[in-house]
Amino acid sequence: MKKLYGVTVAMVTPMDRHGKFLKEPMEQLTETLIARGVDCLYPCGTTGEMSHLSLEERKEIASVVVKTARNRVPVYIHAGADTPEKTIELARHARQIGADGVGVVTPAFLHTGSREMRNYYLEVAGALPGDFPVYLYNIPQCSGNDLLCEDVKTIYENAENVAGIKYSYLDLNRTMEYLKVGADFSVLHGCDKVFASLLVLGCQGTVSGVAGVFPEPFVEVYRAYREKDLDGMEQWQKICVEICDILKCGSNMAYFKSGLEFRGIPAGHMRSPQMDLEELEKENLFCILRDFCRKFHISEKLTEN
């Protein structure tokens, strides 16, 4: 069972100005991120504008990434949807196309209590083979629902294919609770600005949207961590914090798409109701990114060495 680890990239979904998915830029982005040394890929999640995509679009995007990756890195498809039936459909499709596993966000918008949360995840996990891994995904600031540690533990103990959790809220006490769920339970975090600290606490990695635009400092943090180079890890983490601030830490995905445009990947446009950056905003961002690259000796273009 392949698990998520290290620098797992939450990928954007390239779209044209009419909101149509762009296959070739997605292929280019996949190839480039692998070449830059990321460890795993995670399309169709929050960063990928999942809530604006149809089931068929999500299947197409998943297929493009899995086919392009060619088993060079693990690929997990985010399959969470607004009903268990849709989630199971997307998860089964991910398995059929050769993905290594799926992530499943909590139910959203309507309040979901512990009994309902447990039932939801056990239904989804039970609809898949026992050797096909499922990661729970808790992002309460977006979903409106929280995945409590006691519920995670119950789900984990009753579903052999639940491998871990992606947690995208900076509550270190909750993170430590998740780390105690089970000896083999995998915890990845979405708070890029404390990536190094979370690794030291015991998390297996990050699921990062910022790393989908500037993978280099995140890859270096993880390399330094593996090599027990604490000074190097600290220095690269400071660079991660700077680029997180520049790209607004995922609060506006338009910064990611414009950042990729700056780096030579035609990531395209946002889908309505979200909007692209205005031209003046984009010009200002490009100037800041140019200075950032010069300051830290990072290539402006992702495809350059």
In this predicted model, what pLDDT tens digit does every residue of 251-270 receive, in sequence order? 899 999 999 999 999 999 99
Pick among 3.20.20.70, 3.40.50.300, 1.10.600.10, 3.90.1570.10: CATH of 6-296: 3.20.20.70
224 — phi, psi (to 5°)? -60, -40
Residue with tokens 């997605």: 26
> Does residue 86 have a pLDDT over 90?
yes
Token duo for residue 45? 């999640």
CA distances (Å), origin 111, targets 108, 140, 154, 205 = 7, 11, 19, 29
In this predicted model, what pLDDT tens digit does every residue of 4-30 receive, in sequence order? 999 999 999 999 999 999 999 999 999
- The DSSP H or E segment spanning 103 is strand 101-105
Token duo for residue 131? 């050797």
The percent of residues above 70 in pLDDT, for the chain, comes to: 100
Phi-psi map region of 70: left, alpha, beta (phi>0 left; psi -120 to 50 alpha): left
Reported as a pLDDT band with limits 50, 70 and 90, residue 303 is confident
SS3 136: strand
Predicted local confidence at residue 305, as pLDDT: 63
Closest by Cα among 103, 96, 104, 93 to 55: 93
Predicted local confidence at residue 251, as pLDDT: 86
> Does residue 1 have a pLDDT over 90?
no
In this predicted model, what pLDDT tens digit does every residue of 118-174 receive, in sequence order? 999 999 999 999 999 999 999 999 999 999 999 999 999 999 999 999 999 999 999
Q: Is the pTM of this model over 0.85?
A: yes
Q: In what order do the strands lie in the sheet with 162-167?
A: 40-42, 6-10, 205-208, 186-189, 162-167, 134-138, 101-105, 76-78
Average pLDDT score over residue span 220-237: 98
